[in-house]
Amino acid sequence: MRSSLLLFLIVSILAAGLRADEPIKKPPLKIIPGKVIIPTDAMRRIWGELVSIDLKTRTGTFRNESTEEIMPFTVLPYAELLHHAALGDLQDFRITERAIFRLHQNDEGKWVWLTYIQDEMNMLNGHKEYFYVDRIDPAKGEIEYTQANFDKSFVRAKGLILETDDQTRYWKDGKPAAFADIKLGDKIRAKTHGIGKGKHHRAWEVFLDDASLLKFQKEQQAVHTQRMINEGWPGYVDSISPNEVHLTLFPEGRELTRDLKLGAAVRVAAAGPDRKAMDAVEGTLSAIPTPGHSGEVKIELKAQPKEPMVVAGVARLWLVKR
């Protein structure tokens, strides 16, 4: 009797401490090697200037433009590298390029794991934002602007300065233009870089209209699609047996899902830390993701690869054209 009463009291006290309308808090996401996980509840998105890249180790550094700190990063295999408002890869980015770097904590608690680099073109295009021209200084090559969305119902900031120099290129209707073509009230966009200090916006490209930015975007999309075709669609190895391998394909190749068919002939290979493929073997697709999405594929292997694939390692997949 006493034990039953004690149990009732404990349950009542615990219940009193919980409110029915309080949401149950989920544990924060953590990055797990071999899994495509982006902990959006634990991240830092930092504007900075790209300082260095090592393509072999897929590491680099950038200058935090708010603190001047040089910050290292390690690109996770599935990171989205958004260049010219489209998907790309590390080799597309230029040193000093201004971008947003999304970082997460590694096992030691250091903010070094990177899950995207978003260039300024992608940010402006994705948020439908523009630089509205408020003042033009031809002598200094400066444009003072207000950054806002397409109808100015949201204003991000006012009194900003876009710098230009003799390396800046201007585009209108997808064709070369000039600084003099910019007028007060115009809404423009730009691809900019830093100068080693501060929050400078010095333009490599100035787009006087949407058509010009979309021309750059379309060209980048074609480059990236061809790269996926040539170098293979990357993904993690989920499981491997003598006759079958399961992969989780990374989002960067999702455009290629339209070409994946059950029973289609493919090649698959292990990849190194630089994501470069090793010797490939042929197989056939026995499971495919939904068109337009990344996801799991299963491949029935015709032979074992010389370089073995390992669970949680990176592999590359190609369609075989018959």
Task: Give me the domains of the chain, ranges plus CATH numbers.
Answer: 44-122 (2.40.50.320), 127-219 (2.40.50.320), 232-319 (2.40.30.170)
Identify the pLDDT of residue 9: 46
User: Is pLDDT above 70 for 126?
Assistant: yes
Distance CA 194, CA 216 (A): 21
Mean pLDDT along residues 156-185? 97
Identify the pLDDT of residue 294: 66
Element (H, E) at 49: strand 44-54
User: Is pLDDT above 90 for 23?
Assistant: no
Q: Tens digit of pLDDT for each residue in 189-227?
A: 999 999 999 999 999 999 999 999 999 999 999 999 999
Looking at residue 115, the DSSP 8-state letter turns out to be E
- What is the reported pTM? 0.88
What are the residues whose beta carbons fall under 8 Å from the beta carbon of 52, sequence distance 6 or more?
60, 61, 95
Mean pLDDT along residues 299-316? 94
| 98-105 and 44-54 beta bridge pairing | antiparallel
Distance CA 89, CA 84 (A): 11
Average confidence score pLDDT of the chain:
91
**Range scoring the smallest mean pLDDT among 22-26, 69-73, 77-81, 279-283:** 22-26
Mean pLDDT along residues 36-60? 96
pLDDT > 70 fraction of the chain, expressed in percent and rounded: 91
Identify the pLDDT of residue 290: 75
Identify the pLDDT of residue 10: 47
Q: Tokens for 86?
A: 């489209």
Mean pLDDT along residues 79-86? 96
> Burial of 214 by CB count in 10 Å (0-12 exposed, 13-18 middle, 19+ buried)?
middle
User: Is pLDDT above 70 for 161?
Assistant: yes
Q: Tokens for 278?
A: 């090793």
Element (H, E) at 122: helix 120-127
Q: Band the pLDDT of 24: cuts 50, 70, 90.
A: low
Q: Tens digit of pLDDT for each residue in 247-273?
A: 999 999 888 888 889 999 999 999 999
Higher pLDDT, residue 43 or 26: 43
User: Is pLDDT above 90 for 306?
Assistant: no
Higher pLDDT, residue 28 or 66: 66
Identify the pLDDT of residue 13: 45
Residue pair 89/223 in contact (Cβ under 8 Å)? The answer is: no
Identify the pLDDT of residue 76: 97
- The residue among 269, 262, 247, 263 whose CA lies nearest residue 318 is 269
User: Is pLDDT above 60 for 179?
Assistant: yes
